[in-house]
Amino acid sequence: MGRRLSRLGCLATFVSLLTLTIAAPAAAAGYDSTDYVALGDSYSSGVGAPGQSGLCLRSSQGYPGRWAAANKPKSFTNLACSGAETGDVRNLQIPFLSSSAELITITIGGNDAGFASTVIGCQVGTDAACAAKVASARTDIENSIPGKLDATYAAIKRKAPNAEVVVLGYPQLFDTSSASCGIAGMSLAKRRVLNEGARLLNDVIEGRAGAAGFTYSDVEDEFAGHGICASSPYLNGLTVIPPQNSFHPNATGYTRGYLPALNSAL
């Protein structure tokens, strides 16, 4: 019996050492030699989270800052800016992108689709007016935005040809499990049509990112059940102070929504 236990002990030790040996490369494969750059719009600059500063409203509590704090890359630069469209990324961000960048993340396309004006218009207008605004945005999403994304992704590849690029999508803004959304909340019809518009935009972004050879990470699963009007939302509803936080992820949304989506893509 003692010999059997001894043999089992030796076997267990061998398995443990083998496991450590196999796991060692993974543990060593960190990001301490990685140059990381975040590009894009307010969803990458960190609007909606605490600590926003500067004209671009960047916050270290957005998903890029949180990822950098957790993974400690060699360098981290956040070039994302609130309100940015695809042309702004090409003209105002990529010129400052290092050609040696090894990891790039980006959210872009929402402002090209008229995200802010559409949502605000739906907030104050009728169901029919909201549907009309989303239909107008849908035309842009289908006809003009694919080319704008192609040009932007191509510019990133030219400037940093060796970088791994992760393109993140946008969440479904609204929870639609209940007809009620509070006194100032939108009707169920408005919430549904806005979610449909966001889904279409994500489909286009995913397609163009794939065509560019980039990795696309969908955040809809991470935000599922946590839209505006849910009991534990990951997004800010209409916000008076500060107004720019309206319809952007809150701190929890960046931590439990965007950050896990980025980690899964990597």
Q: pLDDT for 94-148, tens place per residue?
A: 999 999 999 999 999 999 999 889 999 999 999 999 999 999 999 999 999 999 9
The β-bridge partners of 168 are: 217
Catalytic residues: 42, 248
Answer yes or no: is 12 within a domain: no
> What angle is formed at CA 253 by the lines to CA 251 and CA 256, rounded to 5 degrees?
105
Residue 181 belongs to a domain with what CATH number?
Answer: 3.40.50.1110
Count up the domains in the chain and report the number: 1
Answer yes or no: is 231 within a domain: yes
Answer yes or no: is 15 within a domain: no
Answer yes or no: is 11 within a domain: no
Q: How far apart are CA 83 and CA 220, in angstroms?
A: 22
Q: What size, in residues, is the chain?
A: 266
Q: How far apart are CA 254 and CA 106, in angstroms?
A: 14
Tens digits of residue pLDDT in 20-45: 333 333 333 589 999 999 999 999 99
Q: How far apart are CA 200 and CA 222, in angstroms?
A: 18
Answer yes or no: is 158 within a domain: yes
Q: How far apart are CA 248 and CA 49, in angstroms?
A: 8
> pTM score, two decimals?
0.86
Answer yes or no: is 7 within a domain: no
- Name the 3-class secondary structure at 185: coil
**pLDDT for the residue numbered 179:** 87
Q: How far apart are CA 68 and CA 74, in angstroms?
A: 9
Answer yes or no: is 105 within a domain: yes
Answer yes or no: is 23 within a domain: no
Residue type, 264: S
Q: Specify whether the CB–CB gap between 222 and 265 falls below 8 A.
A: no
- Domain range holding 158? 31-265
Tens digits of residue pLDDT in 44-66: 999 999 999 999 999 999 999 99
